[in-house]
Chains A and B, each alone.
Chain A
């Protein structure tokens, strides 16, 4: 079946502009995670969604970052007033449940470049 998909695959923007990144999880997966992969910092957790529960936003680096998950499926990560340090690969992952042992399946990522 189809895996996790993300769009766009690449995004180049100017400093100060807002960007939206999209994630389509695997159908039926209830848990959705966003991570960021950047040089020097490695892979960092950003935010987690599970059903109708309040999202875990503990990894968001600033209030310029926000995310939504509509209808328990598609998620959008929004970065307002982008800065050069936001340049990174943004990864989305989904899992079928919310156990600590569940496999997280990753999308191909969106490479964001802020000029």
Chain B
């Protein structure tokens, strides 16, 4: 069974400090991994995905297949980064073409001014 684990429910950092949000997964196969973010009173939205190897809003995430991790990092936290962050894995469901997301329980990031 596929599973995503985010060990921290809450992470508080000071503005300008580095941020690392942890994510570990279990999946038998080649996973597709994502980070979604939900800002206060906004809808859930994609932040980045591993296949794109991109940096969005200063965030990066590297897929480590050996450690089955996909940690989200940012060198200098900003107040506007305060939000709920979800790590997600896309796995094939029971139907052809069914790629539902399996989410971790989320980490609430609070950036202290």
Q: Chain A: residues with CB nearer than 8 A to chain B? A: 3, 31, 33, 35, 42-45, 48, 50, 53-56, 58-59, 91, 98-109
Q: A42-B104, A42-B105 are in contact. Are A106 and B44 (CB under 8 A)?
A: yes
Instruction: Determine chain A's interface SS by DSSP, over half rule.
Output: loop
Chain A residues positioned under 8 Å from B13 (CB to CB): none
Q: Of the 9-residue stretches B16-24, B69-77, B90-98, which lies at the interface with chain A?
A: B90-98
Instruction: Determine chain B's interface SS by DSSP, over half rule.
Output: loop
Chain B residues positioned under 8 Å from A59 (CB to CB): 100
A107 to B42, CA, bound (A): 10
Q: Chain B: residues with CB nearer than 8 A to chain A? A: 32, 43-46, 49, 51, 86, 88, 90-106
Smallest CB separation, A4 vs chain B (Å): 8
Chain A residues positioned under 8 Å from B91 (CB to CB): 100
Q: A100-B32, A104-B46, A106-B45 are in contact. Are A45 and B101 (CB under 8 A)?
A: yes
